[in-house]
Structure 1
Amino acid sequence: MTGYSKRLAHDVERWVGQGLIDRATGAAMLRDAEANDRRSFSFGFILMMMAALLLSAALLLVIASNWEAIPRLARVAVLFALIFAGYVGGALSKMRGYDAFAEAAWLIAAAAFGGGIALIGQMYHLAGDEETAILIWCAGTALAAILLRSGTLTIGAAAIAAAWLFTEGFDIWGRSVVPLAYPLAAAALWLVSLWTRSTAARHLLVLSLIAYAMMLAVDRDVTFVASCLAVVSLILLAASALAGPVVERLVRLDGRLPLHALLGFLTGAAMLQAEHTDNKAMLVVAALVVFAVIAATVYLLGRDSRGLRWLAYLGFAFELCFVYVATVGTMLGTAGLLLAVGLVLAIAAFLIIRIERRMKTEPA
């Protein structure tokens, strides 16, 4: 039984005791929750995916070793056989209800496809670069995900796209260029994830977009890009607070859009402050804005998300440390800032406590 099912069991027991539901309804709710937990989370499924990843890594290493002892045609035939066996065997396993075997076979087939691209280019010295090969691998994996409606392959395609982003942006192949087309690729994969119902792929895409903004800021204009990231994140936070259910139906992130939005805002604010450390007045204003956003986020959106609260607390602590380090040497100014923030937070805490007490005492 997972954490959600355990919490639901306690809630059901309390609801039955209060007469809100009868025991038969509570038992039916628990059975449904446990059945869905088994379908969505399985230790055996995780082990199967780990085994598939290890086999895929072994396959790619064998291909990278450039097995000269085997004739070229035989090497290509082996790879095509692996691709065919992986996809067809996975489909047959899926039809028989062996979902874990199916996803693992598809993952190995996708790895064989990427290895085949590298091997053919290596053997026949085809023109092109590594980034293009990664893009073709990503597109092929995404197409397979669409045809097979595989969440695992969707995650794989998103991971390959992120790998393409980092190889382009961090001078892996000797030329550092942040690809401006990455948001379009992420948007296409987002649509694929909606079709394959892969929430994990959407989380990975959001995190990669935040990383993309950081890379673009360093490569182009820190102030402009970081400001855009912070503003867009604020808009998403406001939308989540004002129209949470509507936004969730659009993005389908299991209610974790505020967590990503807060991370994006804190990232943008940190880049802005790091870029303008010499402007003490701007640092103070930015710190007050960050503290206000953190407090509003916790109050409006943090009740049902422990992860969001922890991120807010970490952001608050980081901001305090940053302001202290940035203004060291002007201890009086730092003390004044801390005093002002402390007073504001104390007043906000008093008001929040009063409001929460009044909400608890209101009749149901």
Structure 2
Amino acid sequence: MASYSSRVRSDIARWQQAGLIDAPTADALTRDVEASERKSLSFGSILAMMAALLFGAAILIFIAANWEVIPRLVRVAALFAVILAGYVGGAVLKMRDHAAIGEALWIIAAAAFGGSIALIGQMYHLSGDEASALITWGAGTALAAVALRSNPLTVVAVGIADAWLFLRGFDYFRRTEFPHLFVIMALVLFAVSFWTRSQAARHLIILSVLFYLVLLVMQYDTLQVAIPLVVASVLLFAAAIFAAGPVDRILQLGGRLPLHALIGFLTGLAMIQFELADESSYNSGFAIASAVALAGIVAAIVLGGRESRGLRWVAYAGFAFELAIIYVVMLQSMLDTAGFFLAAAVLLAVLAFIIIRIEKRMNASNMTGAAA
């Protein structure tokens, strides 16, 4: 599959050949696409990041394997030397237009900082637990991201916060309190992501908050969490569709807020459906939730699917999930299941016919306007 820049260049050539744009405009557009392509994350940059992570892991494993042989002072000096060399060397390389290698060195330094917390704590028998170590590691990485204005370090800091949430959420550290601190972490890191221009971190934070809400359901009543999530997701989706420009200027998500809102909507309704699954034979709550989910999926495709391939794929996946869960839950009553599927099929067929007619009229009006 051709990349976005390749498709744009081919479109520019086609527009010039069709006489829609002149040669200077085509050259200017091509130069702008090439400049933007150089600033994007290339495959070589990704390999450099992966190599940095492996190199950092190799250093820490080597130090840990020879921990007893190396003198205590040398151990501490070696760990701090790796951290200092990574941050300073990365800054120097980035100023010399070697951004990918510089960011990779910063990731090595962040990994070395995390390993240093564990190794030094073990060496000096410092009090504390793994949760505190992860928080310290994440805070240090976030401060480094702010100081260096680093996009990848921001993503790493979010990843550390997610690891803390996962381990605490499943009671890995044998604590009873729920990790509500993650909400503060998410807000701080979301603010940091604007300073470091890390759109990827913002996307990851939003998905992490959804995971936090899933964990929250395990501690509290499902409907108290799921219903506000569904309502908030619907409102965010409406804002992202009908006020796309202002909303995206504020959140800077690259126009992908509808995608996140749809994921939140489907997650909330899945929580409700799982809660009502055992009661599906006694009341119509499960059927109503399923109908709302299918209607929401269709509405999302109609309103935002034309502009977002990712949203369409999420909607298709959600539709497949709905069919699966409806079949499993209502398997005990095959007649009811068949009736539900028949009604849903008729409804979707009617909606598909209406959508096709609307799209044909929109395309016809667009072609008429272009010809005029």
> Which range, TM-score by smaller chain?
over 0.9
1:133 deviates by 1.1
Q: Where does 1:1-364 land on structure 2 (aligned, <5 Å)? A: 3-65=3-65, 67-175=67-175, 177-280=177-280, 281-362=284-365, 363-364=368-369
Between 1:8-17 and 1:29-38, the stretch displaced more is 8-17
1:18 deviates by 4.0
Where do 5+ consecutive residues of structure 2 fail to align? none
1:111 deviates by 1.1
Do the aligned partners of residues 177 and 11 (structure 1) sit closer, same or farther apart at CA in structure 2, a change above 3 Å counting? Answer: farther
Aligned residues with identical type, % of pairs: 55
Where do 5+ consecutive residues of structure 1 fail to align? none
Contact conserved, 1:63 with 1:119, CA < 8 A, in 2? no
Across the two proteins, how many residue pairs are aligned to each other? Answer: 364
Distance in structure 1 (CA, Å) of the matches to 2:63 and 2:222: 41
1:339 deviates by 1.6
1:219 deviates by 2.2
Between 1:14-23 and 1:320-329, the stretch displaced more is 14-23
Do the aligned partners of residues 237 and 64 (structure 1) sit closer, same or farther apart at CA in structure 2, a change above 3 Å counting? Answer: farther
Distance in structure 2 (CA, Å) of the matches to 1:289 and 1:341: 11
SS at match of 1:21: coil
1:2 deviates by 5.8
Q: Which amino acid aligns with 1:320?
A: L
1:223 deviates by 2.1
Distance in structure 2 (CA, Å) of the matches to 1:48 and 1:274: 43
Distance in structure 1 (CA, Å) of the matches to 2:275 and 2:297: 21
Please, what TM-score do these two structures have when normalized by structure 2? 0.93
User: Which whole-Å deviations, capped at 9, do the CAs of 1:19-52 have from their partners, x for residues lacking one?
Assistant: 3321321232122112211221322211111110
Contact conserved, 1:86 with 1:108, CA < 8 A, in 2? yes
Distance in structure 2 (CA, Å) of the matches to 1:31 and 1:89: 32
Contact conserved, 1:2 with 1:37, CA < 8 A, in 2? no
Q: Which amino acid aligns with 2:339?
A: G
Do the aligned partners of residues 305 and 147 (structure 1) sit closer, same or farther apart at CA in structure 2, a change above 3 Å counting? Answer: same
1:264 deviates by 1.4
Between 1:241-250 and 1:12-21, the stretch displaced more is 12-21
1:220 deviates by 2.2
Contact conserved, 1:230 with 1:269, CA < 8 A, in 2? yes
1:176 deviates by 5.5
Q: Which amino acid aligns with 1:239?
A: A
User: Which whole-Å deviations, capped at 9, do the CAs of 1:317-340 have from their partners, x for residues lacking one?
Assistant: 110111111111212211221122
Do the aligned partners of residues 156 and 37 (structure 1) sit closer, same or farther apart at CA in structure 2, a change above 3 Å counting? Answer: same
1:249 deviates by 1.1
Contact conserved, 1:169 with 1:176, CA < 8 A, in 2? no
Q: Which amino acid aligns with 1:250?
A: I
User: Which whole-Å deviations, capped at 9, do the CAs of 1:93-136 have from their partners, x for residues lacking one?
Assistant: 11111111210111111111111111221111111111111111
SS at match of 1:172: coil
Do the aligned partners of residues 181 and 8 (structure 1) sit closer, same or farther apart at CA in structure 2, a change above 3 Å counting? Answer: same
Contact conserved, 1:5 with 1:30, CA < 8 A, in 2? no
Distance in structure 2 (CA, Å) of the matches to 1:298 and 1:62: 52
1:229 deviates by 2.0
